[in-house]
Amino acid sequence: MSLIVQKYGGTSVGTIERIRAVAHKVAAARTRGDDLVVVVSAMSGETNRLIALANQISEMPSPRELDVLVSTGEQVTIALLAMALEELGCEARSYTGSQIRILTDSAHTKARIEAIDVERMRADLAAGRVVVVAGFQGVDGEGNITTLGRGGSDTTGVALAAALNADECQIYTDVDGIYTTDPRVVSSARRLDRITFEEMLEMASQGSKVLQIRAVEFAGKYQVPLRVLSSFTEGNGTLITLDDEDDMEKPLVSGIAFNRDEAKLTVLGVPDVPGVAYRILGPISEANIEVDVIVQNVAQDGTTSLTFTVHRNEMKKALRVLEGLQESLGATSITTDDRIAKLSLVGVGMRSHAGVAARMFRALAEHNINIQMITTSEIKITVVVDEKYLELGARALHTEFELDATV
Ligand code: ADP
Ligand code: ASP
Ligand code: MG
C-alpha cells in the first residue's frame, strides 16, 4: 500500500462534471488500496475573478484582505470534491490550509510554508478516509490566512508529500506531462518521459508555469518523487528525477521556456565611475523590487548606461525610484519598455558542450530577431527580445535544437 498525494489544478476541477470525474479517479486509486491526500485548486478562472472584484474596490487592496478573499476559491472545491467522493461511497474529509495547520510566514500573497502538522491527516488516513486539502493557502503564527503565490497549489501538494513522506506526489493538470516547451504555443512540442529537477527548476523560473517554482524547489530539497500527468487521459506523464547520470549522455537542450511578464528599464548617460550599478540597483532593491536580467554598457563618450528587467507589475514603481535618482546620478534620460519577452534554452547537456549560445544566436539572426539582452547560467541561456518575436523565436529554437516531435 502506498501513500500518494494527488493535486488537481483549476481546469481539472473547473465544472461539477469535472469534479465528479476527479472523484472517480480518486476513488479508483483508493479501491486499489492506496492512501490518498488530495489537494485541489479553485475552479478555473475563480482566483482571477476574485482578484478582479478586489480591484473594483481598491487599486492596491490590502494583501491581508486579498488573501482572505482569494482563499475562498479553494474552500469551494475541497467541499465539493469531498461531497462527490462521499456520493461514490468513498469516505472523505475536506480541510482548509489553516485547519490542517499549514503554517507559513506572514508574507501575504507570497507566503512561504514553515511547518505542516500531519497528525490530523494521519488520523483520517488511518480511519480509511481520503483527506482533501485546499491548495494555495496557509495560516501564519497569528492565525491570519495567507496564500502562497499564483500557482501555489502545486507547492501545497509537494509540501504535503514531503511532510507525510509520501511515496509520490502526482500533479494532475490539463496537459499530459512536461513538454519540451509550452505545447499551446509550439504545436510540435514533445512530451518528455523524464526531466531532471535542475532542468525543471530552470524551466519553471524562466517562465514555464506548468509547475510553480517553489514546488520544484521543495521537491528537490526533500527528494519528493514528483510526476506531472493529465486529469483527462491515461498515461505515465513526466517524472521529475534526481538524476546524477553523466551529462555527456544528455541532449544539449531539453526544453525552451519563455515569459512575457517582464519590463525593461534603461538609465542612460551616467558618468562612468565606480559604484554606478550599486547607486541604481541599491535603491531598487530597497524598494523591494526584484531585478532579473542586467546589462551595463560604456559608450564612446565615457558615459555608461544600465539596463535591467523587473516584473511588469513593478515597472511603474521602479520608474518612480529611478526618476528620484536621475539628478544625483547625472543621468541624461530614463526609458522603459514593457513589450519585451524572455526566451530561454535549458539543458544540463550544455555543461559539457560548447557552442550552444552561438547556435542559438545564429538561429535567431536567421529569423531576423534582434537580441536586446543576454544572460547565461551553467545550464541555461536567456535572451530578451521584442515580444512580437517570441513565438517565432521559440519555434525557431525548437527546430534548431532538434526538439520537434516526429509525426
Ligand atoms: P493547473 O491549473 O492544472 O495548475 P496550469 O495552467 O498552471 O495548470 O499549468 C498547465 C499549463 O502549463 C498547460 O496548459 C500549458 O499550457 C502550460 N505549460 C507551459 N510550459 C509547459 C511545458 N513545458 N510543458 C507542459 N505545459 C506547459
Ligand atoms: N488558485 C490559485 C491560482 O489560480 C492557485 C493554483 O491554482 O495553484 O493561482
Ligand atoms: Mg498551475
Tell which one of 191, 209, 227, 240 to mutate to probe ligand 1, the residue whose CB is within 8 A of the most ligand atoms.
209
Backbone angles phi, psi at 138, to 5 degrees: -150, -160
CA distances to 10, 83, 127, 129, 327 from 86, in Å: 21, 5, 15, 10, 67
On whether the CB atoms of residues 265 and 373 are closer than 8 A, the answer is no
Helix (H) or strand (E) holding 399: helix 390-400
Give pLDDT, residue 69.
Answer: 98
Residue 73 belongs to domain with CATH number: 3.40.1160.10
The answer to whether position 354 is within a domain reads yes
Query: How far is the centre of ligand 3, averaged over its atoms, from the C-alpha of 211 (Å)?
Result: 6
Give pLDDT, residue 354.
Answer: 84
The answer to whether position 72 is within a domain reads yes
Q: How far is the C-alpha of 279 from the C-alpha of 81, rounded, in Å?
A: 53
Looking at the structure, do residues 290 and 381 belong to the same domain, yes or no? Answer: yes
The answer to whether position 234 is within a domain reads no
Q: How far is the C-alpha of 190 from the C-alpha of 304, rounded, in Å?
A: 44
Ligand nearest to the CA of 176: 1
The answer to whether position 68 is within a domain reads yes
Looking at the structure, do residues 165 and 272 belong to the same domain, yes or no? Answer: no
Write down which residue in 158, 174, 190 finishes a domain: 174
Write down which residue in 174, 208, 225 finishes a domain: 174
Give pLDDT, residue 159.
Answer: 98
**Taking phi first (over 0 means left), then psi (-120 to 50 degrees means alpha), and beta for anything else, what does residue 381 get?**
beta
Shortest-distance atom of ligand 2 to CA 10: 7
DSSP string for 310-332: EEGGGHHHHHHHHHHHHHHHT-S
Looking at the structure, do residues 133 and 280 belong to the same domain, yes or no? Answer: no
What is the 8-class DSSP label of residue 289? P
Write down which residue in 147, 174, 201 finishes a domain: 174
Query: How far is the centre of ligand 1, averaged over its atoms, from the C-alpha of 215 (Å)?
Result: 14
Looking at the structure, do residues 20 and 154 belong to the same domain, yes or no? Answer: yes
Strands (E), 208-254: 226-230, 238-241
Looking at the structure, do residues 29 and 170 belong to the same domain, yes or no? Answer: yes
Residue 287, all three cell numbers: 524598494
> Of 282, 8, 30, 32, nearest to 133 (Cα)?
8
pLDDT in tens, the chain (407 residues): 899 999 999 999 999 999 999 999 999 999 999 999 999 999 999 999 999 999 999 988 999 999 999 999 999 999 999 999 999 999 999 999 999 999 999 999 999 999 999 999 999 999 999 999 999 999 999 999 999 999 999 999 999 999 999 999 999 999 999 999 999 999 999 999 999 999 999 999 999 999 999 999 999 999 999 999 999 999 999 999 887 666 556 778 999 999 999 999 999 999 999 999 999 999 999 998 999 999 999 988 989 999 999 999 899 999 999 999 999 999 999 999 999 999 999 999 898 888 999 999 999 999 999 999 999 999 999 999 999 999 999 999 999 999 998 86
Instruction: Name every protein residue with a CB atom under 6 angstroms from any ligand 2 atom.
Output: 9-10, 41-42, 47, 73, 135-136, 150-154
On whether the CB atoms of residues 157 and 113 are closer than 8 A, the answer is no
The answer to whether position 267 is within a domain reads yes
DSSP string for 322-383: HHHHHHHHT-SEEEEE--EEEEEEE-GGGGG-S-HHHHHHHHHHHTTPPP-EEEEETTEEEE
> Of 164, 160, 156, nearest to 122 (Cα)?
164
Residue nearest atom 6 of ligand 2, based on CA coordinates: 151
Ligand nearest to the CA of 172: 1
State the pairing for strand pair 35-40/130-134: parallel
Q: Measured over all CA atoms, what is the biggest interatomic distance in the chain, rounded to whole angstroms?
A: 78
CA-atom Rg of the chain in angstroms: 23
Residue 346 belongs to domain with CATH number: 3.30.2130.10
Looking at the structure, do residues 164 and 27 belong to the same domain, yes or no? Answer: yes
Q: How far is the C-alpha of 319 from the C-alpha of 336, rounded, in Å?
A: 8
Instruction: Name every protein residue with a CB atom under 6 angstroms from any ligand 1 atom.
Output: 9-12, 41, 151, 173-175, 178-179, 181-184, 208-210, 255
Give pLDDT, residue 52.
Answer: 97
Q: How far is the C-alpha of 353 from the C-alpha of 361, rounded, in Å?
A: 16
Domain count, the chain: 2
Strand partners, 340: 386
Looking at the structure, do residues 9 and 147 belong to the same domain, yes or no? Answer: yes
Looking at the structure, do residues 22 and 155 belong to the same domain, yes or no? Answer: yes
Shortest-distance atom of ligand 2 to CA 153: 8
Give pLDDT, residue 62.
Answer: 96
> Of 82, 15, 5, nearest to 42 (Cα)?
15
Strands (E), 89-136: 92-95, 102-104, 113-116, 130-134
Residue that the C-alpha cell 553523466 belongs to: 246
The answer to whether position 147 is within a domain reads yes
Residue nearest atom 10 of ligand 1, based on CA coordinates: 210
Residue 104, all three cell numbers: 507559513
Give pLDDT, residue 136.
Answer: 98
Looking at the structure, do residues 35 and 159 belong to the same domain, yes or no? Answer: yes
Looking at the structure, do residues 15 and 146 belong to the same domain, yes or no? Answer: yes
Looking at the structure, do residues 115 and 264 belong to the same domain, yes or no? Answer: no
Looking at the structure, do residues 166 and 297 belong to the same domain, yes or no? Answer: no
| Domain residue limits at 117 | 3-174
Query: How far is the centre of ligand 3, averaged over its atoms, from the C-alpha of 285 (Å)?
Result: 28
The answer to whether position 350 is within a domain reads yes
Give pLDDT, residue 288.
Answer: 87
Residue that the C-alpha cell 544566436 belongs to: 361
Give pLDDT, residue 351.
Answer: 86
The answer to whether position 193 is within a domain reads no
Residue nearest atom 4 of ligand 1, based on CA coordinates: 9
